[in-house]
Structure 1
Amino acid sequence: MTKKNTDYRTKGQAVFLAALMVLSMVAVPMAFAGGAAAAADDVSSVDVDDVKAGASADAQEVTFDIEFENDVEDSDTIEFDLSAAVDAGAVPFAADASTDNDNITVSSVDIDEDNVSAEIDYNGEDGENSAEVTLTLTHDLSDVDPALGVPVDFSNDDNSITGSTTFDVVGVDIGQTRAYQGQFITTDQADGDEEIELIRDFDDDNDFIDVTNADDGFAFFATDDLETSETYSFVNASGDEIDNIQITANRFSADWNDDSVDNQGETTTSVELDANRGTYDVHVTAEGLDNDDLDDIFGGNSEAFQTEDGILLESVNDGDFDADFDDIDAGDYEFEFDMTDTVADASSTITVEDGEDADVEFVEDTVDVAQGDIAEIDVTVEGGQETATLIIGEFDEDGYQAIIEIDDIDESEFTIEFNTYLAGTDGEGDIVSSEDAEVTLVNEDQTEQNDIDGILDVDDYDMYLNSGLFQDDYTIGDDDDVEDFIDDADEVGALFVNDRNVGGMNLWTASADNAGDIEDADDIADAIDAGSLTETDTIAFGDALVHQIELDGIGGFIAATEEEDLDEALLSLIQDEEVVDIVVEQTDETRQANRQAKTLNTSTLEASDLEVVYEGGELFVIFPELPTDEDNWDRERTPADGDEFTVDLEVTDQRILEVGDSQDTPFNTIDTDDEDALMIGSEFGVADRDAEFDVEDIDGDDYVTVEAEEDQEVTGTSNIAPGSEFNVRLNGEGDARFVKTVNDVVVQPDGTFSATFDFSDESVDDEFRAQIRQGSFDERPSADGLVVDADVEETETEEETETPEETEEPTETEEPETEEPETEEPETEAPADDDGDDETGDDTPGFGVIVALVALIGAAMLAVRRQN
């Protein structure tokens, strides 16, 4: 396909008509003259569009089928004689041409004032020798009136093919519902050359507007000066109405979506066009921008054509029209948008600013990934760059190479995800992906990418990054082009594929509610910090069981299922692909005699039964509640209190294990008894949900004890998961008529709980019943309670230490030391034991006095020794 634009400064009265003539010449019946054989055997199926009278710019598309002799390399030139159109003032100034067959091309289109010639070439190679040729001419028809049957002659270069045809310059027929102000209104229903009158409100006011003579039954009027929202009629010489039409105002607006745009980097924006009609044409001009500038700005749109002084946007619908200001001089530009066939126009101003050069860079020059995981390659963008290419590996050195095109980048920093498990497969899944750009592995079908044995080897692979799309400048499969790209790369980095790390399994527990809030690794870290997720070897029924498995290199394996949710992906690997299993089996020590071990049936699990998190080389498989339905266990034998189980994660995929004969594609399993299977396991027990209150032995009976004071703590322990919540209720018994409840009591990481009550209004010896409500316990935990005497002796001991009478009472136990007369002299050292007095006084009534006396005696002895 070739394109040639020829601009003429001569203003034409019927420029677009000339273009139509040129195109239509192909469609006329052909008269063959002379004895010379035509290079083209046939020209047929010609389709020529009409054009709009009075349009400031219009484009005409002409298509025809052309056929050449088989296996004969030849060409022919068809010339269109536009002399009749030029005489009427119609001069075309631009032409495009294309064909749908690579064997046939339009090598040139030339325009002069009287002729348009198109040279059509055939290469004579085997294959199709016919093609559909499309010519598009653009014109200025602002001074051209409606006309029917405009003649055009054409011939080939040796006149072996000649012919003629006609085309119409059209307006809006009077029989239509409406015409927009500025369009011509026409009729072909007149009688010969009779006079036709234009009347407003015919048969009402009969307001005469204008008169014209018909030409062989064809008549027209301009509507530029007619009033809108009024009805006009064509009336013949006999006074009869031919038909009528309403003139409508054409509402139209054009606004740039951005006030400014850069001329380097992010250079694209759009203009929003809006009108009260369906499809329309818009002619665009701007002071300070020439025709080539406007073509650079709007030429990326398939329906944009150069005109003599601007650009024609053809067949526009309401919405955004793209524009690219790359390399346009900085400045303020007012764009004029003219609806070509009406009086409607609009203007909008945009500022072009000097932008920075576009570029792409690696965030980190080196990227590490475990074999089989997804490598995350972070890239930054400067200057609004929207395209780039990344090559991973050099085939001669690594035996592998991926060529990745990156398009529609919409973030200043984005991540390319490269699946090292799928790399080397052909169409098996998303080897590359990104959330913030469109990425394509363009050599997915090439041997450099899909002809490797098994999973991508542990090795280091060079990475090359450059702006622009690979296929814009290079050819896929051309080794020299690939080397040129590598040599010219702006950025060079390395991808290190490392050995997979396989560790152990730790078990954690959490309440079902708290486990339900875990969705990612951050949630797990937060739960551990809060103490609501704790390590354990025993799970209470109804609590969550969390498997923490130290295993990297399976991210790509999981992603290969193409499931969006990790829980769905893991279930697919277990139930559909059968290359992973979670084996939960009762231990022999707790197995009932003569009965098989209880075993979890993972084939019945659903996505709601588990949550999966994989990040940083750790796989968390979370059962929000240990499955206990009979359907989830083989032979419907479910866990019971005291049972213990082993749990193992088994991976049997040949590709990830690099064993077996079917490593070239994902999801081929080996025998689970094979010693090559990957297994990671642990053990846990199960128990009924239980809790108990802390009690005190009073006269041989156990009681929850409180004092008749404020802030009385009722404590206890539970085997349910830390972070679990329940209510503690105290109900008075006998004459004690009270109900006290503390809601949302939380089990602590050490299994304890505490609820604080106010007993200041109650009496000593009141009895009550302590109960735990909610918490889904198998049996409601409860205990008897008693209000006991408040501990007031601590205050008394503080007063007694100041009186001599109180200090003499216990001296008999220390008789040798108390006979020294200087006991009062070192009293200033006694406060050193005050803290001890307070602590013991709180816990053991009466004992604080003894400690104080011992301290005083010790101080006296120290004074005697110092005097000696």
Structure 2
Amino acid sequence: MTETNLTPALVSLLLLSLVATSSPAVGAAPGQHDGEAVSQTLQTDGTAPAATSPVALSAASEASFAEGTVRETVGDRATINITIGHGESGRLIAGTADKGYRAVIKFDDDDFDGEVSLRMNTYLAGNHTGSGERQAWSAEAGDDVERVNLTTEPLDEPIEPATYDLKVRTDGELQDIDLLVLSEPSVSSLAFGTAPGEQFGESRKEMNLTETDSVAMGDVLVATVHTQGVFGILDAQPGEDDTERFRSLVQSPNTSFSLELDKENWAREPPEVAIGRSFENDAFHVIPAPENDTVYVTMDPDALEFTDGRATVRADDRYEATFELDEDSQVISSDERVKATVQFTERSVTIEAGEEDQLRLPPTSNATVNGTTTVAPGTILNFRVRENEMFSQSIETTVQANRTFALPLNLSEVLPGANVSVSAYNYDAEARGYVRDPWTEPSEPTTPVSEPPLATTVEPTPTEADERTTNTTARPTTTENTPTTEETDASAGASTTETVTASPAAASNEPAGTTAQATTAEGPGFTGAVAGIALVGFALLVTRRREN
């Protein structure tokens, strides 16, 4: 009997092979095998090449889900991102038989970037429309969906809102597992907005959209619908672009969109916008934005067709729009409906003239004229500026989000006193005024110059007045009898002060009934100290008269 010698390396390899073949696949329940083993590579201690188990281990390219659990709404498009070896191929298994839906999608990384993005139209998944499961799956540019195999029976209606398994395999080996969570559709809100008329037909990024319930004649009318569960349905509609597919969508049993005059102003049924004829007249441009669950329905009001034969919308008309996701679409259990109203107004511009309806502009390079308007924010307004009835300059400005504007003027070379007029092209708006003198007519109140404090007027208290003789007027005395007058400069802002010197005898000749008067002095020299000395002298004089 021949004895076989097993080297340590061979023993290790056999043990690892036994472990690999007895281990359950990733995602299987303990003790179960689903036949999808995860590939593994076994390394030696570095002295020999890597070894691979011939039973359960392979050199399959690694692959994984890039973003974890995928969440989407039934009726929308789910994006499943997979990381894989550069230029490699793989298979995605979506769903399980017990959930009634299971599909196998073979994909290729054609652009060798190591990333594959697969898109699942959840409205078409399950082949309930009869178009084939292949129509439900696509890949982003640079990648390719080679083949799709639906392993369960075709569904009678769209796939149910539920949680579905996701698995990715390469070379027959299971690489990663995750989940696809599908929820029920809903319609959240409808709001109106506007944009400059020349932006009709542009992309959402190029359009200056402002939400409002008031739209000027000639501007773009935008109905913004926030909804989930329509983007897959929209993709499944016939048409060469999003606008044509939206037309098919709203004229199908799945959804509806209407625009009619407000019923409050009509005794009978008000006229509606003829949706089909309006589409034919290029009145609509539709921009789906599934990344934020929004559909922008932009309209050219001048191109809308009406059921009563009217030519176009009219100023002061008020309209009500309705968007509905119908239960006949089978993606929703009951109708979801949202409404909004909007009113059309005349195009107008108002220039703010200020007090007395006159512009008072500074002779500077940054003078500004402000105003308001009814036109859409983002609109460019053109103005003509005249100086003394002579053409001076043409200026344009952009309407801000709150429908105001600021017109910059360069008046640095215009002399104060010159007449100025500002008018808007194509609008009945004009304001007149003049260039003010910044020295004699400042725009802001000037800061007052500091003045010396005024002297305080000293009034006798009631007690002092009761003790005095009522027919005596107190005056200060000096040793000289000659009256002396001192004057201060009135131009300096101070009043003239006279100091009269009289003898006691002259003081006694004052007529009866004369009361003491306090003098208010202004200007330099009359301080608190002087006022105090005068008060003391006055008290001494009163005391002396009492003694006499």
Could you state the TM-score of these two structures normalised by the residue count of structure 1? Answer: 0.42
Alignment partner for residue 413 of structure 1, among 89, 100, 115? Answer: 115
After superposition, the Cα gap between the structure-2 partners of 1:608 and 1:682, relative to the gap in structure 1 and judged at 3 Å, is: closer
Alignment partner for residue 780 of structure 1, among 417, 428, 445? Answer: 428
Which SS does the other structure have where 2:365 is aligned?
coil
Alignment partner for residue 540 of structure 1, among 216, 220, 223? Answer: 216
Counterpart Cα distance in 2 of 1:400 and 1:687: 53
Query: Which residue is 1:751 aligned to?
Result: 403
Post-superposition shift, 1:549?
1.7
Is 1:631–2:305 an aligned residue pair?
Answer: yes
Alignment partner for residue 162 of structure 2, among 437, 459, 464? Answer: 459
Farther-moved stretch of structure 1 (371-380 vs 789-798): 789-798
Please tell me whether the aligned partners of residues 764 and 788 of structure 1 are also in contact (alpha carbons under 8 angstroms). yes
Q: How do residues 431-450 of structure 1 correspond to structure 2 at under 5 angstroms?
A: 431-435=136-140, 436-444=142-150, 448-450=152-154
CA deviations 1:19-49 (Å, max 9, x no partner) are: xxxxxxxxxxxxxxxxxxxxxxxxxxxxxxx
Alignment partner for residue 421 of structure 2, among 769, 772, 775? Answer: 769
Post-superposition shift, 1:440?
4.5
After superposition, the Cα gap between the structure-2 partners of 1:741 and 1:497, relative to the gap in structure 1 and judged at 3 Å, is: same
After superposition, the Cα gap between the structure-2 partners of 1:639 and 1:791, relative to the gap in structure 1 and judged at 3 Å, is: farther
Q: Which amino acid aligns with 2:376?
A: A
Counterpart Cα distance in 1 of 2:450 and 2:432: 41
CA deviations 1:574-629 (Å, max 9, x no partner) are: 35x464332111112334x56x5232111021567313122235223242x53223
Counterpart Cα distance in 1 of 2:368 and 2:443: 21
Query: Which residue is 1:719 aligned to?
Result: 374
Counterpart Cα distance in 2 of 1:644 and 1:799: 53
Q: Which amino acid aligns with 2:290?
A: E
Please tell me whether the aligned partners of residues 583 and 650 of structure 1 are also in contact (alpha carbons under 8 angstroms). no
Is 1:582–2:257 an aligned residue pair?
Answer: yes
Counterpart Cα distance in 2 of 1:738 and 1:550: 50
CA deviations 1:547-583 (Å, max 9, x no partner) are: 22221111210111254632222122235x4643321
Counterpart Cα distance in 2 of 1:678 and 1:561: 20
Q: Which amino acid aligns with 1:363?
A: A
Please tell me whether the aligned partners of residues 164 and 181 of structure 2 are also in contact (alpha carbons under 8 angstroms). yes
Counterpart Cα distance in 1 of 2:60 and 2:136: 31
Which SS does the other structure have where 1:443 is aligned?
strand
Counterpart Cα distance in 2 of 1:742 and 1:633: 43
Query: Which residue is 1:739 aligned to?
Result: 392
Which SS does the other structure have where 2:338 is aligned?
strand
Q: Which amino acid aligns with 2:187?
A: V
Q: How do residues 420-819 of structure 1 correspond to structure 2 at under 5 angstroms?
A: 420-425=122-127, 426-427=130-131, 430-435=135-140, 436-444=142-150, 448-450=152-154, 452-468=155-171, 488-514=173-199, 516-519=201-204, 523=205, 532-561=208-237, 563=239, 565-575=241-251, 577=252, 579-591=254-266, 596-604=269-277, 605-606=279-280, 609-623=284-298, 625-629=299-303, 631=305, 634-636=308-310, 638-652=312-326, 654-658=328-332, 676-698=334-356, 702-733=357-388, 736-743=389-396, 745-773=397-425, 779-790=427-438, 792=440, 801-804=449-452, 808=454
After superposition, the Cα gap between the structure-2 partners of 1:705 and 1:792, relative to the gap in structure 1 and judged at 3 Å, is: closer
Counterpart Cα distance in 2 of 1:690 and 1:680: 31
Please tell me whether the aligned partners of residues 254 and 325 of structure 2 are also in contact (alpha carbons under 8 angstroms). yes
After superposition, the Cα gap between the structure-2 partners of 1:729 and 1:793, relative to the gap in structure 1 and judged at 3 Å, is: closer
Q: Which amino acid aligns with 1:781?
A: A
Post-superposition shift, 1:357?
6.1
Counterpart Cα distance in 2 of 1:375 and 1:408: 19
Q: Which amino acid aligns with 1:386?
A: E
Counterpart Cα distance in 1 of 2:332 and 2:451: 88
CA deviations 1:453-511 (Å, max 9, x no partner) are: 3110011111121114xxxxxxxxxxxxxxxx6xx522111111112233111222222
Counterpart Cα distance in 2 of 1:611 and 1:790: 54
More strand by share: 1
Q: In the comparison of the two structures, how many residue pairs are matched?
A: 394
After superposition, the Cα gap between the structure-2 partners of 1:449 and 1:363, relative to the gap in structure 1 and judged at 3 Å, is: farther
After superposition, the Cα gap between the structure-2 partners of 1:652 and 1:731, relative to the gap in structure 1 and judged at 3 Å, is: same
Counterpart Cα distance in 1 of 2:355 and 2:444: 26
Structure 2 gaps, min length 5:
1-58, 459-548
Please tell me whether the aligned partners of residues 720 and 751 of structure 1 are also in contact (alpha carbons under 8 angstroms). yes
After superposition, the Cα gap between the structure-2 partners of 1:498 and 1:629, relative to the gap in structure 1 and judged at 3 Å, is: closer
Please tell me whether the aligned partners of residues 87 and 108 of structure 2 are also in contact (alpha carbons under 8 angstroms). no
Please tell me whether the aligned partners of residues 404 and 441 of structure 1 are also in contact (alpha carbons under 8 angstroms). yes
Please tell me whether the aligned partners of residues 709 and 790 of structure 1 are also in contact (alpha carbons under 8 angstroms). no
Counterpart Cα distance in 1 of 2:343 and 2:263: 13
CA deviations 1:322-344 (Å, max 9, x no partner) are: xxxxxxxxxxxxxxxxxxxxxxx
Counterpart Cα distance in 2 of 1:463 and 1:630: 47
Counterpart Cα distance in 2 of 1:758 and 1:385: 63
Structure 1 gaps, min length 5:
1-355, 469-484, 660-675, 817-868
Post-superposition shift, 1:512?
3.0
Post-superposition shift, 1:799?
7.9
Which SS does the other structure have where 1:628 is aligned?
helix
Which SS does the other structure have where 1:639 is aligned?
coil
Post-superposition shift, 1:780?
3.4
Counterpart Cα distance in 1 of 2:223 and 2:194: 9
Post-superposition shift, 1:416?
0.5
After superposition, the Cα gap between the structure-2 partners of 1:439 and 1:786, relative to the gap in structure 1 and judged at 3 Å, is: same
CA deviations 1:419-466 (Å, max 9, x no partner) are: 11011113257210012322155324x5x151x231100111111211
Counterpart Cα distance in 2 of 1:421 and 1:507: 28
Counterpart Cα distance in 2 of 1:407 and 1:434: 9
Could you state the TM-score of these two structures normalised by the residue count of structure 2? Answer: 0.65
CA deviations 1:804-827 (Å, max 9, x no partner) are: 3xx65xx99xx79xxxxxxxxxxx
Counterpart Cα distance in 2 of 1:636 and 1:542: 16
Counterpart Cα distance in 2 of 1:647 and 1:404: 42
Please tell me whether the aligned partners of residues 283 and 303 of structure 2 are also in contact (alpha carbons under 8 angstroms). no
After superposition, the Cα gap between the structure-2 partners of 1:551 and 1:390, relative to the gap in structure 1 and judged at 3 Å, is: same
After superposition, the Cα gap between the structure-2 partners of 1:799 and 1:412, relative to the gap in structure 1 and judged at 3 Å, is: closer
Which SS does the other structure have where 1:610 is aligned?
strand
Counterpart Cα distance in 1 of 2:307 and 2:219: 18
Please tell me whether the aligned partners of residues 220 and 301 of structure 2 are also in contact (alpha carbons under 8 angstroms). no
Q: Which amino acid aligns with 2:344?
A: V
Post-superposition shift, 1:787?
3.1
